[in-house]
Structure formats: C-alpha cells, structure tokens
Amino acid sequence: MQQEGVGSTREMTSAEFDWKVRRKALMQPLEAPGTNLSARRPEDTFQVKVQGRSLEVKRIEVKRIHSRIPQAPELVFLHEGLGSVSHWKDFPERVAAATGCAVTVYSRYGNGNSDPLTEPRAVAYMHDEALRTLPELLAQLHIENPILLGHSDGASIALIFAGTPAGAHSGPRGLVLLAPHVFVEELSVASIAQAKTSFETTNLPEKLARHHRDPALTFWGWNNIWLHPDFRAWNIEEYLPRITFPILAIQGIEDQYGTMAQVQAIARQSGGPVEILPLADCRHSPQRDQPEAVLAAIAKFVNQIVESK
C-alpha cells in the first residue's frame, strides 16, 4: 500500500475510532486540583506559532555553555512519540556541556505544553512533521545546518527531513539517532498494544501528566495510529539513499519497541557514513539506560563533524 500523502486529513471510520466520543471522554483532567503545567515550565521555555499551532520550545543558549566551540552546529532534539521538552529531563543540558554546542528542544503538536491534539493522527504524521513543521520552526529560530538528535519517532522524523531532496530546506550536518524506526516490526506493534493495557490499568496516565498538557489525548493520538491496520505499511527506507552526511545510530539490544534490523537497514541503505553503537543492558531509551556511553558517543561524533569542516 502506498504511503499517504503529506498533509493527509484521512479520518478513521467510526468503527475504528470515534474521535469525538473518545476526546470528550478524555478531556477530564488527570492532574490533582491546583496543579498547572504551564506554571511548571522552566523560565527558558517559550511558545512559537508554527503551522498555526503553538509549540513549546526550550533553548540552551550559547552564553550558558562555558566550553562553546566556535562555529559549532546547534543540536536540535526531536523527542519520542510520548516525549516532550520536560521528558528529556537534563539530557539536553548534559549534551550541551559534553559537546560545547547550543541546543534547541521542542514539544511537537499534541505533546508537552504545545497545543493539544484536536484530531486523530494520520499515517503520515511523521512526514508532516519532517516536511512542514520542522523546516518552518528552524527558519523561525534562524537555525541553519543543525545536527538533529532524534529518539524513536523523533529519529524517524530526522531521517525523513534529512532525506528530503536538496533545496527543500537548510540541510543538517549530521544525525544522531536513538532507537530509530524505518519500518514497522511485529515487536513494535505488540509492545504498543501492551502500552495501551498499561495506560488503562496502571498509573501511566499520572506519570504522563507530569510532561503533557493533556496526557490522555497525547497517549491515544500516538497509540491509536501505531495500532491502526493502515500503519503496518509505514516505511521510510526510500529516504535513506539521499542522506550523504554522517549518522550515529544508537540501539539498545533489549529495546522492547525495535530490533537491530532498524539500524542495520539504515547502515545498509544510507548514502553516507553510518556508525552503529549497540548497547547491552539497554531498552528503548539509551539516554536513560546507558547515559554515559551515549554522551561519550555523541561528543565524539559532534567533534568529528566540527573538525571535518
């Protein structure tokens, strides 16, 4: 089946997913009375209007980085499907300190303190982000030729962005991919189905409420599209041959959402150099399970790019 076109507004059938009914049910607040996500935002976050939606952005400015490297690229972080600015915790600051580079982090539409979803996600939602939202955001923030650091869905978005034909945007100088997806595996579907059960039967909604304005909408927006039958054909391998700059692909051996086949496909098909870093005792979030190894690998990768310019 062909990939849906960018900007698709395909609606699921009522039998598959009645969004209006679901949304009404999910709009009930999950946080305790008196809590306010906006009030918990760090002082260095702000809102940017992109594609008509307000997005939460955090920038770790150059003046805050004592080891700033002259002419170093800015790193732009792209979070996982249930991620956000706050969900990264202190990892962006640690990467900034380790690399001497400024860092920008943002929450995508439907996540964090960005505008909440008002419709179900389409199969092409990562394409929409890579080909529409991300280029406009980078232009507004005057970021040129960054290094993109993506986790899970964010890594897939980085690959689509990087594999877009030249001239469509200011291309990146490199990619750091944490647990990327380029096609759908049965393991991914099974684990996402298990996540649905966890959301319905455990305190997962409470945990997500720490990082999202509307955790229920965020969760179901991600979970429903990944479990939709049409999503089984999702595949972005066609973008890989057009990527000619360096890639660092980091994959946990015990990743519950994907296997080494993902990064091996990237290495086999990409048009530029690819370094694979497999990590033992590591699941779907290498930056949490093996932070020191990940930081060291990123610092080395960025230094090589800076020195090669």
Encode pLDDT of 45-91 as tens digits. 999 999 999 999 999 975 544 555 667 899 999 999 999 999 999 99
Confidence category of residue 202, pLDDT binned at 50, 70, 90: very high
**Cα–Cα distance, 294 to 232 (Å, whole number):** 30
Write the DSSP symbol of residue 196: H
62-67, long-range: CB < 8 A, 24+ apart: 62/102, 64/96, 65/96, 65/97, 65/100, 65/101, 65/102, 67/97, 67/100
DSSP-assigned states of every residue in 245-289: S-EEEEEETT-SS--HHHHHHHHHH-SS-EEEEEESS--S-HHHH
Contacts made by residues 263-271, CB under 8 angstroms, sequence distance 24+: 263/177, 263/180, 265/182, 265/183, 265/237, 265/240, 266/159, 266/177, 266/180, 266/182, 266/240, 269/237, 269/240, 269/241, 270/240, 270/241, 270/243, 271/240, 271/241, 271/242, 271/243, 271/244
Q: Where are the domains of the chain?
A: 19-27+36-308
Give the other-Cβ count within 10 Å of 275's Cβ: 16
Q: Evaluate whether 155 touches 127 at the Cβ level (below 8 Å).
A: no
**What is the per-residue pLDDT for 66?**
52
For the chain, the average pLDDT equals: 86
Residue 286's pLDDT is: 98
- What are the pLDDT digits (tens) for 213-251? 999 999 999 999 999 999 999 999 999 999 999 999 999
**pLDDT in the model for residue 166:** 57
Confidence grade of residue 133 (pLDDT, cut at 50, 70, 90): very high
What pLDDT, on the 0 to 100 scale, is given for residue 14? 35
Within 8 A by CB and 6+ apart from 2, the residues are none
Q: Are 301 and 248 in contact (CB under 8 A)?
A: yes
What is the pLDDT, as a whole number, of residue 308? Answer: 86
pLDDT tens digits, one per residue of 6-34:
333 333 433 333 334 333 333 333 333 33
pLDDT tens-digit readout, 155-183: 999 999 999 975 455 689 999 999 999 99
Q: How far apart are CA 225 and CA 237, in angstroms?
A: 20
Instruction: Give me the pLDDT at residue 26, please.
Output: 34
pLDDT of res. 121:
98
Domain 19-27+36-308: which CATH number of 3.30.70.141, 3.40.50.800, 3.40.50.1820, 3.20.20.80 = 3.40.50.1820
